[in-house]
Copies of this chain bind each other. A is one copy, B any other.
Amino acid sequence: MELWMIAPLAALASIVVAAYLFVYVNKQDSGTAKMREIARAIQEGANAFLKREFLYLTVFVAVVATVLTIFLPNGPIMGVAYIFGSICSGLAGYFGMIVALKANVRSANAAKEGLNKAFPIAFRGGAVMGLSVVGLALLGISVVYYLTGDPGIVLGFSFGASAWALFAKAGGGIYTKTADVGADLVGKVEMNIPEDDPRNPAVIADNVGDNVGDVAGMGADLFDSYVASIVAVMILAVGLAPGISSFDNPFVNLPLIFAGLGILASILGVAIVRVGKKGNPGKALNWGTYITCGIFIVMTLFVTLYLQQDIETWAQSSLESSLHPFQVWGALVVGLVAGVVIGITTDYFTSIDRAPAIRTAEASQTGAAINIITGFSYGLVSMFPPLLGIGIASGVAYGLAGVYGVGIAAVGMLSIVGMIVAGDAYGPIVDNAKGIAEQSGLEEEVIDIADRLDAAGNTAKAITKGFAIGAAGLTVLALLAAFQEISGATGFDLMNPLVLTGALIGIAMPPLFSALVMLGVGKNAFTMIEEIRRQFREIPGLKEGKEGVKPDYATCVDIATKGALKELILPSVLSIVVTLVVGFVGGIEALGGYLGGSIFSGLIFALLMANAGGLWDNAKKYIEAGAFGGKGSDPHKAAVVGDTVGDPFKDTAGPSLNTMITVMSLVASVFAPLIVMYALL
C-alpha cells in the first residue's frame, strides 16, 4: 500500500468522528419550548439564505464548469473536478451550519447546569465543522488525484472550492453585517433596547448572520486555503522531477501524507480539549491548539525518519538532488510555527487587556474621530509582525527546500486547520447561545455563563483570523510559484514593464473588492434600517413588548438575503474577469505581476481590517467593563462608532480578501495554458 493513502484514510476517520460528534450534540436536550422556537426561527432564516445562495451558486458553477469544459485542453475532466470541488466545499459549510444551529440552543440549555456542561456541546459542535472541512477537503483531493494521477486536475478541484468560498464568504459577510448594523443602529441606538432583544425585528437575521458569515464563511475560507496549499505543493513537486509519474514521486505525495497526519493530530486535539467547572474556556481552546501542534510535529518527525531513505533516493533523481528529508520537515515546522506566532501577535493587537485596545479606549474620551484614528493606526502597525513573519518563514523555507519548501511551509501552517476551525466555529455557536439565552429570558447566572463562553470565542476568533491570513499569504505565494511552473515563466522581474504595470493594477484589486462589499453593506443596512423603523412604527405594542406581539422577522431575513446575494456578484465576478483580462491582454508576465501585486495589497488590507476591527470591538468592551465612564458615557458612544466601522472591516471585507487572492491565483493557473497561447502582448 502507498503511504499517501494515509490521506484518504485520515480524511474518512475525520468524517466518521464528525458524524459521531454530530450525534452527540444532537441528542442533547434542546431546552424549553421558547428556546426551541427561537432556535427554529434562526434555523429557518439560515435555511432560507442557504437555499437561495445555493441556487445562485449552482448557476454560477454551471456556467464556469461549461467555460472550463469548452476552452481548456483537458476541459471535461477539469469541469467535473471543478464541480466536485464546489460540492465538497458547499457540503462542508452545510454540515457545519446544521450542527451549529443545533449546538447553539443545546449549549444554551446546558449552561443552566454549568460552564463545564455547556462548553463541550459548543466546542464539539465547532469540531464537527472543523473535521468536516478537512475531511471532505482531503478526501476530495485524494479521490481526484487517485482517479487522474494528475495534480493539474486537482487544481480544478481547488478552483471549484475557492470560487464557492468566495461567494460564501463575501455573501455571508455582507449578510451578517447588514443584519448586525441594522439591528444595532435602530435597536440599541435609536430605540434603546438591549442587544438580542426579541422585540427587535432584525434579531433573528442577526443570529442567522453569525452562522452564515462566521460558520459557513470561515469554513469555506479555510477549506479553500487548505486545498490550495496542498495542490500548489503537488504541482511544484511535479516540476522537481519532470517526466516521472506523480504516484512515484514522493514529493507529490508528501503534502498528502503531512495533511493526513495533521488531521489525525487535530482529531486527538479535539478529543483532549476540556474545561473544568471553574475553568477558562479561552485557555482550553488555546491549549488545544498548542497540543495539536506538538502532536503534529512529533508525528511528522517520525514519518520523515521513516521515509528518510526513500526521500534521499528520490532527491537524487530530481532537480533538488541535494535535498535532505529534514530540510522538508524543517520547512513544514517553520510554517506551523509562523502560523502560531502570527496568531499570537494578532492576539496582542486585538486583546482587551493589551495596550492597543486600552489606548484606543482612552482615545475615545476625545470623541469618535480620535477613537477611529487611533484604532486605525494600531491596525496599520499590527501588520508589521505578520508580514515580517510571512517574509521570514517563506525566506527560511525557501532556503531549506526552495519554492517547494515555501509550499510545504504553507501546508505545515494549514495542517492543523481541523483544530483551528473547531475553535473558530465555537465562536458563533456560543454567540448564538448567548442570544438564545437572552431572548428566552433565562436566569442571570445562565446568561453570565453564556457570556464567559462567548468572550472565549472572541479571543479564539481573533487568533484564527490572523492564522487564516498568514496561511492564505503563504498559500498564495506557493500558488504564484505554481503559476510560474505551469506557465513556464522564468520569473516576474519588477523591472519588466509588463510585470510592473500588472502589479500596479493588481494592488488596486483588493481595495476595490473591499470597497464594493462594504458599500454593499452600507446600502443594504440602509434598507434594513428603514424596515426596522417601519415595523416599530406600524406594529402596535411592539416597542412596549406587549404580550403576544411579535415583529416580522422573516422580512428582515429576506432583505439581508436578497441584498447580500445581489451585492456579492459584482466584486466576485470582477475579481475573476479582471484577472482574465490582464492575462489575455498583458500575457503571463503581466499576470504574474498582477498576482504579486494583489497578494501584497490583499495581505495588507486583510490584516489591517481584521486587526483594526477586532481592536475597536475590544476597546468598546473595555469601556463597557467600566473604564472611562463605562456604558452609556460619551466615550462609550465614541467607541461604539469605532466598533460599527470595524464590523464590516473585520467580518465582511477583511476576511473575504484571503479568498479573493486565492481565487485570482487559481484562475491564473487554470487558464495559464490558454494565456500562453493567446495573449495579446
Contacts and interface: CB of A to CB of B under 8 A. Distances in A.
A559 interface: no
Interface residues of A, number: 79
Interface stretch (A9-17, A237-245, A493-501): A493-501
A387 B508 contact: yes
A348 to B, nearest CB: 15
Contacts of A512: 380-381, 384
A interface secondary structure, majority: helix
A145 to B, nearest CB: 26
A519 interface: yes
B377 A518 contact: yes
Contacts of A648: 373
A645 B369 contact: yes
Interface in A460-509: 477, 480-481, 484, 491-505, 507-508
Nearest to A520: B377
Contact of A501 (B370, B377, B392, B603): B392
B608 A374 contact: no
Contact of A521 (B185, B368, B373): B373
A394 B497 contact: yes
B641 A369 contact: yes
A114 interface: no
A504 B390 CA distance: 8
A376 interface: yes
A600 B507 contact: yes
Interface stretch (A87-95, A155-163, A395-403): A395-403
A630 interface: no
A300 to B, nearest CB: 23
Contacts of A529: 366
A381 B514 CA distance: 9
B383 A500 contact: no
A515 B383 CA distance: 11
Interface string A205-242: 00000000000000000000000000000000000000
B600 A497 contact: no
A363 B522 contact: yes
Contact of A388 (B366, B495, B504, B608): B504
B645 A494 contact: no
A645 B507 contact: no
The 8 closest A-B pairs by CB, nearest first: A369-B644, A391-B504, A398-B497, A380-B515, A491-B493, A380-B511, A377-B515, A391-B501
Given A380-B511, A492-B493, 11 more contacts: A370-B525, A372-B641, A376-B518, A383-B511, A392-B501, A394-B504, A395-B500, A395-B501, A398-B497, A601-B601, A604-B604
